[in-house]
Structure 1
Amino acid sequence: MGKKGFIFLPGGFNSVIEELSKKYRIYAPVLKEKEGRFTDTDVVRYDFVNEVADIELEKKSDYSFKEILTPLSQTLFFFTENDVKEANVDEREVLVFLRSCDLNALKRLDQIYLKNGREEDYFYARIRDKVKFVLMGCAHSYEDCFCVDMGTNRADDLDFSFSVDYVDNKFRCQLKDEALSSIFENNALKEDDVTPMFVTENETRVKLPGEVPLSIFTSDMWDEYTARCIGCGRCNYVCPTCTCYTMQDVYYTDNGKVGERRRVNASCMVDGYTNVAGGGEYRKKHGDRMRFKTMHKIYDFRKRFGYNMCVGCGRCDTVCPEYISFSNIINKVTAKVEEVQNEN
């Protein structure tokens, strides 16, 4: 049995978007023609939308929504010799369209920034508090997705304002946010019970390891990625749950005593990430970096918080220029764990 929902003709749902855009900055996946990795390829990434025609409803986004909450480069505050001024933040509310895997990724981001220690991350929280979400249903699995095995194919118990599915030239929406009732009622074709569409099986399958023995961390299985990985960091930047950043103090050329502090996204796969004073670097080999990332996504995070960090969106598999498959890595780790357990 579905929950309270509404059925819209395209024009009616477009009116909903137009009404919502008066209050919210609306972000959604948008098809960018001829803006992909090569001159003749397209890309789907997040951007502002003002009408339903702007939203890419069929294709999976190549990039996640996380730049809305954690910008690639974010000015935190400005400083002089004597004063510090916090950077302004756009006070308008935000509405973000995303799929189940990304809504599950939001849970991971909140865990890291809001529930990981005694204090919330202030600069994350001040943006997060202004954002609401729209769940985009998945009528089918996409290439490289393995969300079912990661348990992120559904989002029933997660927080979203309403869902949207495009079926037979009609939009089907389940409404959770009662504050939006009047907008929906005024533009709907009819009211009906609606259940968001969720994927129930993927072509790509993974088997997750349970306890991981220490020998896996020093296994020669990681040598393959020392040879194959080029350390470009693409996997980190498309991943919805990678949260690493670095700090930069930028001084102005006309006055070296005045500047700003920026939080800039970082990648555990690129050179320099583990550099320390004196020129040391803890993980020089690409295989060591792959081991670190993999264990964090499917083991270390789970040991601490009780669930896996990876949500199985498959974007890292899709974007890798060396065709390294993270789903294959997970299966290789599990096979190696079982091999060690059988030997013992």
Structure 2
Amino acid sequence: MGYVLTQEGFSDAISQLRKTYRIFAPVRKKGAGRFTDVDAILYDEVNGSEEIELHEKSDYSAKEVLTPLSETLFYFTEGVCKEADLDTRPVLLFLRSCDLQAMKRQDQIYLANGMEKDFFYQRRRELVHYVLIGCSHSFENCFCVDMKANVSEDGYAFSVDEADGMYRINVLDEGLDAVFSAAATSKEEVVPAHVTQNEVHVRVPETIPAEIMKHPLWDEYTTRCIGCGRCNFVCPTCTCFTMQDVYYSDNGRVGERRRVGSSCMVDGYSNVAGGGQYRKTQGERMRFKVLHKILDFRKRFGYDMCVGCGRCDDVCGEYISYSNIINKVADAVDAMEKEGR
């Protein structure tokens, strides 16, 4: 069912929803960017509709609601282990189509990537319902169309598009119809806006031969990449983490275990017992990251991991373009095919 609301009506609807749900959405943080006069758009819990940023792409992805950068999993003493408490109120999470598609990738890794589901992820995921933010135009560095992540026809409770002070809502969760019906000025069919054309284009090869692993295209990034890991931390599909034990006592028998976001691009992530280290150079790490997004994940699950949000390009301090790397891989594959390899 589709509804049209005024700004006041949308505010009333959000107020009603907050009686049942915690609401997380992109929020503009004044002066929180790289410089004091630059804003940042980050995910946070909101208290009212006026806090929700509907028109700009968030600098960080919605995944932090489900996989916080630092999360205490459980506490332990010498004889007791206790799971960390969790707010069990249901959650509404506002996000664009690319991030909604990315959440499906998160589910794939944490819930359908082996014999067991990740308990700590699952208990959060069961609380979360998505709200699709309509995306009427492409942002800088986005290539969601070529990655087929620009449209989401389902998987959300309701959608929202705002233009000229009017909010167009498409409700898929019938349990929310009453909230929007009471606040609406009219009812009509609503189709969420979606991007149809990006300025940035990528060509993802259908097949990528194993020889790409030794291609010299990766050598460039051994010197260009500084291994800061920004690209991983803003990526909505990256799932790497490490574990940290924090001890409260000298004997190490009382403390807590935390899951902390980590990065395949950061030095030390691939260290193993005995002093071994896989992927020592930044070029090797870049190769691992890129091929995981457009080859390895697809081999396992049947579709690409990358959703083309472009945040990695937005945030890179060395101006390394991930979309350019994909196209370089495509060019290298074309050359191999011509050579008969």
Report the TM-score, using the length of structure 2 for normalisation.
0.98
Question: After TM superposition, which residue ranges in structure 1, 4 or more long, deviate above 6 angstroms?
Answer: none
**1:1-344 matches, cutoff 5 A:** 4-156=1-153, 158-253=154-249, 256-344=252-340
Output the CA distance in 1 between the equivalents of 2:65 and 2:36.
26
Give structure 2 stretches of 5+ with no counterpart. none
Indicate the SS of the match to 1:256. coil
> CA-to-partner distance for each residue in 1:65-120, whole Å, 9 max, x for gaps?
11110011111111112221111111111111000000000110011111111211
Output the CA distance in 2 between the equivalents of 1:255 and 1:185.
60
Output the CA distance in 1 between the equivalents of 2:69 and 2:238.
12
Output the CA distance in 2 between the equivalents of 1:92 and 1:138.
28
Report the TM-score, using the length of structure 1 for normalisation.
0.97
Output the CA distance in 1 between the equivalents of 2:210 and 2:128.
41
Output the CA distance in 2 between the equivalents of 1:188 and 1:334.
49
Indicate the SS of the match to 1:148. coil
Deviation of the 1:255 alpha carbon: 5.9
Indicate the SS of the match to 2:28. strand
Output the CA distance in 1 between the equivalents of 2:43 and 2:6.
24
Number of equivalent positions? 340
Task: Report the residue type matching 1:72 in the other structure.
Answer: L
Indicate the SS of the match to 2:280. coil
- Indicate conservation of the 8 Å contact 2:131/2:158, yes or no: yes
Indicate the SS of the match to 2:187. strand
Indicate the SS of the match to 1:257. coil
Task: Report the residue type matching 1:38 in the other structure.
Answer: F
Deviation of the 1:168 alpha carbon: 2.7
Indicate the SS of the match to 2:252. strand
Output the CA distance in 1 between the equivalents of 2:251 and 2:25.
40
Deviation of the 1:253 alpha carbon: 3.9
> CA-to-partner distance for each residue in 1:256-279, whole Å, 9 max, x for gaps?
320111111110000100101121
Pick which of 30-39 and 101-110 moved more.
30-39
Deviation of the 1:140 alpha carbon: 0.5
Indicate the SS of the match to 1:149. coil
Indicate the SS of the match to 1:313. coil
- Indicate conservation of the 8 Å contact 2:241/2:259, yes or no: yes
Output the CA distance in 2 between the equivalents of 1:203 and 1:169.
28
Please, what is the CA RMSD of the aligned residues?
Answer: 0.9
Task: Report the residue type matching 2:56 in the other structure.
Answer: K
Output the CA distance in 1 between the equivalents of 2:112 and 2:250.
41
Indicate the SS of the match to 1:119. coil
Output the CA distance in 1 between the equivalents of 2:334 and 2:10.
51
Indicate the SS of the match to 2:277. coil
Task: Report the residue type matching 1:192 in the other structure.
Answer: E
Deviation of the 1:181 alpha carbon: 1.2
Deviation of the 1:254 alpha carbon: 6.1
- Indicate conservation of the 8 Å contact 2:3/2:188, yes or no: yes
Sequence identity percentage: 60
Indicate the SS of the match to 2:156. coil
